[in-house]
Amino acid sequence: MSEQIKAAVLGAGYMGSAITFPLSDNRIKVNLWGTWLDDKLVESSLRGFHPKLKKTLPENVSLYYWQDLGAALEDVNVIFIAVTSEGFVNIFQKMLDNIDRDKDYTFFKLTKGFVEYRGKIVRATEAAFDIFAEKFPDKELKIVTVGGPVRALDLSHRVVSASMYGLSDSKIKDTARSFCTDYYRIFINDDIKSVELCSAFKNIYAMASGICDGLYGGQKGGFYYNTVSFLFNQACLEIAEIVQAAGGNRQTAFDLAGIGDLHVTSTAGRNRKFGEMVGKGMDGHDAFKEMYGQGEYGEGYMALKLAIPWIKSEIPDITVKTPLLFSLNNIIFNKYEPAGEFSKLMSNLGV
Amino acid sequence: MSEQIKAAVLGAGYMGSAITFPLSDNRIKVNLWGTWLDDKLVESSLRGFHPKLKKTLPENVSLYYWQDLGAALEDVNVIFIAVTSEGFVNIFQKMLDNIDRDKDYTFFKLTKGFVEYRGKIVRATEAAFDIFAEKFPDKELKIVTVGGPVRALDLSHRVVSASMYGLSDSKIKDTARSFCTDYYRIFINDDIKSVELCSAFKNIYAMASGICDGLYGGQKGGFYYNTVSFLFNQACLEIAEIVQAAGGNRQTAFDLAGIGDLHVTSTAGRNRKFGEMVGKGMDGHDAFKEMYGQGEYGEGYMALKLAIPWIKSEIPDITVKTPLLFSLNNIIFNKYEPAGEFSKLMSNLGV
């Protein structure tokens, strides 16, 4: 990209703040904008300490409070969207109200999950395309779905991380290339929809590892890894089935946005932590609320809540091929007892 | 299988002893035979305590010392081979010397890795077919390759475990079905060669997770999961390439014997532990010797040692597609510094 990149990042939570590290290290000026829920994060970051990443943000970052969205978007040509899936539609609309109709922008969506949009449950980019077309009927939306495996904390420590970008336009590929550093490695996949689906479903399936830990961690000591790995494998297979049924390439599930991102999220993410609380016996809704109260958003819980009706509406024939997904739904939303539900699931699999 | 099953298990280490649990729980009588290296295991097990599994073996198990191979094989029709890859050829030959020429046997190979056989490096079952044909030219060898993800300790705790059996004969499938319990779930895959290759290579690639832990565990605190997941994903992709180049179905790598078994071995296996020692700076050969001295066999080390010449001879074109494999070889056998080697590897991947 010959044009100088200047970026805005919407959402000053974990991932929004973490992505500023490779950007800043590439000497890209970044405006980091916090939503109305991020006031404390912005305030503390302005004083030199980001409370979630527990460190100072890098040098090329300017911070903006929610009231200053217009200023945060001034002069930028690249916009990262890193708000929660719940906030996505609203903030995408507000953002379009504040950009310059005559300029070209490339959007990078870090948000993962489904959104509710005009009474339907859709992928976040589907809503984005619709909103954009209504606002700018003569323009084409350029939006990239960014997948993992990237845990924000690790990225902010500049540890080698790989990220799968769903895109097919070679110019945008050049833009993406300019975000790379020796520690931030970008991989391109033109099966864009599948990258987006993988990112939503990996958050859901990562809860299974957490449930195992909550369930067996005390009782079975260190001797339940076989079960965790069995469920991990089952999750990969089910994501592949979902991707394929939705018209994508199942190989996308067997790559960074699928296997890789499920791996990191299952090992160390918030969805794993959420699952652990549920595995110990807490009701799904209560666990979500408790984490929310601590400023942690259980994205997998929210994704599952929307994924079930999405599947039933979009790819209803898949349900026999995704028994783990429905077990998770039974456990998290229908108060089924985790041990019994997992046992039933697993004794139905195999010869 | 209408015929009553009676089993022998050769090798009284972790896996040989652990497989007796589902067998015994199915009321199958099992003769567990220890090699000359297993004398202490047999002796202690006879007194009611298996020193590796740290528990009593189940009720239907009879123990045999190495001198009593003939007795251990008397009256059995199913034979599990659970010795190390180094011991496989020798013990397979000795076993054939002690079975009844006029009876039918089904063999289940738990051994994972390559073997040296008549000056060549081959898959263990290739050697088995050759040895068997020479001894019994008029008989057909029925041998099943058993894959994971099964950690022996977990299995002996009767935790839900899935195991992929490489087989295509429907009668043998019935035999395998009779080993199933509510906690031991068997999955069948007729891409037999690939199941065997996955089992060998997962031990190799699991060392990468260990190296990461050894390398970054102290220095980067809890902030290197992205790198581990990146390498985990890369390992899955490379195993798929190897399987495909060897004439198998790459999907086999993206299932229990590949993803699943790599997952459990990377999390909790001996190969992970071996990698950790190397990641902390120990020479590969020294780490292998130290573990050996503690009675732990570094199967991944031995598999890698043989895999490199096997690849160069069998599928030489694959080498550009398996950079992680060659990085591991550089680190473990050629004294390359792990941090530098991993950095170089990862900065060559991506856009």
- Across chain A, which has 351 residues, the per-10-residue mean pLDDT values are 85 98 98 97 98 97 98 97 96 98 96 95 97 97 97 95 96 96 96 97 95 85 90 98 97 98 91 92 94 90 95 94 96 93 90 89
Q: What is the CATH number of the domain that holds B252?
A: 1.10.1040.10
Q: What is the count of residue pairs from A and B with beta carbons less than 8 Å apart? A: 179
From the list B150, B186, B230, which residue is nearest A351 (CB)?
A: B186
- Which contiguous run of DSSP H or E holds residue A78? strand A78-81
Q: Enter the tokens of residue A242.
A: 């979902």
In this predicted structure, what is the pLDDT of residue A270? 86
In this predicted structure, what is the pLDDT of residue A2? 52
Q: What interhelical angle do B323-333 and B225-245 show, nearest 10?
A: 110
Chain B residues in contact with A240 (beta carbon < 8 A): 254
Tell whether A195 is covered by a domain. no
Question: What's the whole-number mean pLDDT along residues B191-201?
Answer: 97
Q: For residue B94, give how far its alpha carbon lies from the nearest alpha carbon of chain A (Å).
A: 33
Identify whether residues B122 and B270 lie together within a single domain: no
Q: Is the pLDDT reported for residue B79 higher than 50?
A: yes
What CA–CA distance (Å, rounded) separates B34 from B232? Answer: 34
From the list B151, B346, B351, which residue is nearest A176 (CB)?
A: B351
Q: What is the CATH number of the domain that holds A61?
A: 3.40.50.720
Identify whether residues B22 and B152 lie together within a single domain: yes
The answer to whether residues A230 and A346 touch, using CB atoms and an 8 Å cutoff, is yes
Chain B residues in contact with A351 (beta carbon < 8 A): 173, 176-177, 180, 186-188
Chain A residues in contact with B148 (beta carbon < 8 A): 229
Q: What is each CA distance from B222 to A54, A154, A266, B213, B227, in whole angstroms?
A: 13, 8, 14, 10, 11
Burial of B334 (0-12, 13-18, 19+ CB in 10 A): exposed
Chain B residues in contact with A177 (beta carbon < 8 A): 351
Identify whether residues B324 and B243 lie together within a single domain: yes
Tell whether B163 is covered by a domain. yes
Chain B residues in contact with A159 (beta carbon < 8 A): 216, 220, 223-224, 226-227
In this predicted structure, what is the pLDDT of residue A3? 75
Q: What is the pTM of this model?
A: 0.96
In this predicted structure, what is the pLDDT of residue B3? 74
In this predicted structure, what is the pLDDT of residue A295? 85
In this predicted structure, what is the pLDDT of residue A269? 80
User: Strand A106-109 and strand A78-81: pairing?
Assistant: parallel
Q: What is each CA distance from A331 to A200, A297, A328, in whole angstroms?
A: 19, 19, 5
Identify whether residues B181 and B214 lie together within a single domain: no
Q: For residue A161, give how far its alpha carbon lies from the nearest alpha carbon of chain B (Å).
A: 5
In this predicted structure, what is the pLDDT of residue B2? 52
> Whose CA is closest to B305, among B320, B324, B325, B286?
B325
Question: For tokens 């997948």, what's the residue?
Answer: A147
State the number of CA atoms in the 13 A half-sphere of A279 facing the CB: 22
Q: Enter the tokens of residue B30.
A: 């099992």
The answer to whether residues A310 and A200 touch, using CB atoms and an 8 Å cutoff, is no
What DSSP assignment string belongs to A189-222? Answer: ES-HHHHHHHHHHHHHHHHHHHHHHHHHTTTSTT
Question: What's the whole-number mean pLDDT along residues B21-41?
Answer: 97
Cβ pair B185:A220 closer than 8 A: no
- How many beta carbons lie within 10 A of that of residue A320, not counting itself? 8
Identify whether residues B123 and B12 lie together within a single domain: yes
State the residue range of the domain holding A52. 6-190
Question: For tokens 């060392």, what's the residue?
Answer: B207
What CA–CA distance (Å, rounded) separates B118 from B132? Answer: 14
Domain C-terminal end among A190, A221, A238: A190
Identify whether residues B121 and B161 lie together within a single domain: yes
Identify whether residues A210 and A181 lie together within a single domain: no
Domain C-terminal end among B168, B190, B212: B190
Interface test with A, best of B160, B185, B212 (most A CBs within 10 A): B160
Question: What's the whole-number mean pLDDT along residues B270-282?
Answer: 92
Identify whether residues B231 and B287 lie together within a single domain: yes
